[in-house]
Amino acid sequence: MGITIAILALIGALGAGLLYIVSKKFEVKEDPRIAEVAEVLPQANCGGCGFPGCAAFAAACAKSEGGLDGLFCPVGGSPVMEKVGTILGMVAEKKDPLVAVVRCNGTCEARPRTNVYDGASSCAVASALYKGDTDCSWGCLGMADCVHACEFDAMYMDSETRLPVIIEDKCVACGACVKACPKFIIELRRRGPKGRRIFVSCVNKDKGGVAKKACGNACIGCSLCFKECKFEAITIADNLSYIDHTKCKLCRKCVVVCPTHAIHEIGFPPPKKEAPKEEASAGATPPPSTPEATPTAETTPPAPVAPTTPSTPTAP
């Protein structure tokens, strides 16, 4: 019995030694900078960078020989990329923070239901089967695929409008909701200064009359916003206006001229209400009247002297 145990122990020791020698012989040395880069990453593993996780992104950064162009962590943003650049001795590209935007304003009032969908509660499934439960075949289907795809609890469905709502403070711009939407109504745009931004909340490419009939808030391609913009930030293609967030100066002139209110402004203070002209004129203080000058003794002109009649001489 003792000999058997000794033989088994010897075989185990020889196997362990052989494995150790093989592991050292074929050891693949990893760049130590990969671990350093991984430590400064947020470890969200969201895939927004285009890689399966933060470890793969760290390896791609360390192996990049031409710099960090095209490599960006949307969750950490520019501050994290600056740390990565410092570790690797490279210059990181600075980008403005992004946020997800829902480009559909087809509320239940503006886009009434014309049929009832009875199937799997999935936007992807419903989109593959038919256009949707309204006359607009471009808008949100309202089955929350984007909400389920978000890992940061940055979205929820509004029960009244049946549209997804973005919680900006939680959104990390990972792009998971963008990929999950089969209608492509969610877009990543710049947060803008002080969180202010302007965008066209519609993706309907039908002609104006058809789009307006399907949804009261649809863009009808009237080109009024295009003519109003002086910064070439608005383009019109396929009966639909689009605002380039890299060119928009946030002047809000396009918002005023849009007849269907398809252009939305977010983060701006409410506009000041101007007083009606009638009320303004009634409440205005009349200008002070200039008193008429009262003639005084010094300024009173002398009374005219009546002409005297010459006397007729008397005959002698």
**Which amino acids are annotated as binding site for [4Fe-4S] cluster, given as ranges?**
46, 49, 54, 73, 136, 140, 146, 150, 171, 174, 177, 181
- Provide the annotated binding site: 46, 49, 54, 73, 136, 140, 146, 150, 171, 174, 177, 181
What does each C-alpha distance from 212 to 135, 202, 207, 256 come to in angstroms? 10, 11, 8, 18
What letter does residue 111 receive in the DSSP assignment? S
Distance CA(192)–CA(249), nearest Å, equals 10
Six-digit token pair at 162?
Answer: 């049946």
Q: Which residues of 143-173 are buried (b: 16+ CB within 10 A; e: fewer)?
A: bbbbbebbeeebbebeeebbbbebeeeebbb
Give backbone dihedrals phi and psi of 189, rounded to 5 degrees, phi first.
-130, 165
DSSP code, position 194: G
Alpha-carbon distances, residue 246 vs 34, 192, 233 (angstroms): 33, 10, 8
Amino acid at residue number 232: E
Start-end of H helices in the chain:
2-25, 32-40, 54-63, 77-88, 123-129, 145-149, 176-180, 208-214, 224-228, 253-257, 277-283
Nearest alpha-carbon partner for 143 in 160, 131, 126: 126
